[in-house]
Amino acid sequence: MDTYRVAEAAELLGVSDDTVRRWIDAGRLPARREGSRTVIDGPDLAAYAGAGAEGHAPDSRASAVSARNRLPGIVTRVVKDTVMAQVEMVCGPYRVVSLMSAEAADELGLVPGARAVASVKSTNVVVERP
């Protein structure tokens, strides 16, 4: 099982280390001591990130995103059948969903709480009205 230090969790969630510590102190984010460090178990961070992602609105950084990106994040949910897998991640303030083969998801070890990088390259543009 993956574990995350406070600084790593903060980077993945797109917040400061102090914010993560406040969440831990308030009992909102489960954590434990491992030697002299505070660590967060991957599944706990994934659950917290998944619940928080629903309320995230893209910030002003969204306009600076280029067509090719590597977004570090944490896997929050994996839904698989015999052929395909839907993998959801939280990468800072962004929620990313990828469809891939179930075999690929298994080979990569994609489970809630696992660290992963979403590589985004768009060949299509979708235009929506608010």
Domains and CATH numbers, the chain: 1-121 (2.40.50.100)
SS3 string of the chain?
CCEEEHHHHHHHHCCCHHHHHHHHHCCCCCCEEECCEEEEEHHHHHHHHHHHHCCCCCCHHHHHCCCEEEEEEEEEEEEECCCEEEEEEEECCEEEEEEEEHHHHHHHCCCCCCEEEEEEECCCCCCCCC
What pTM did the predictor assign?
0.58
pLDDT band at 6 (very low <50, low <70, confident <90, very high): very high
Q: pLDDT at residue 60 above 80?
A: no
Residue 25 scores a pLDDT above 90? yes
Residue 56 reports pLDDT greater than 50: no
Give the residue with greater pLDDT, 63 vs 15: 15
Tell me the mean pLDDT in the region 81-86. Answer: 94
At 58 the pLDDT is 39
* Beta pairing, strands 84-91 & 68-80: antiparallel
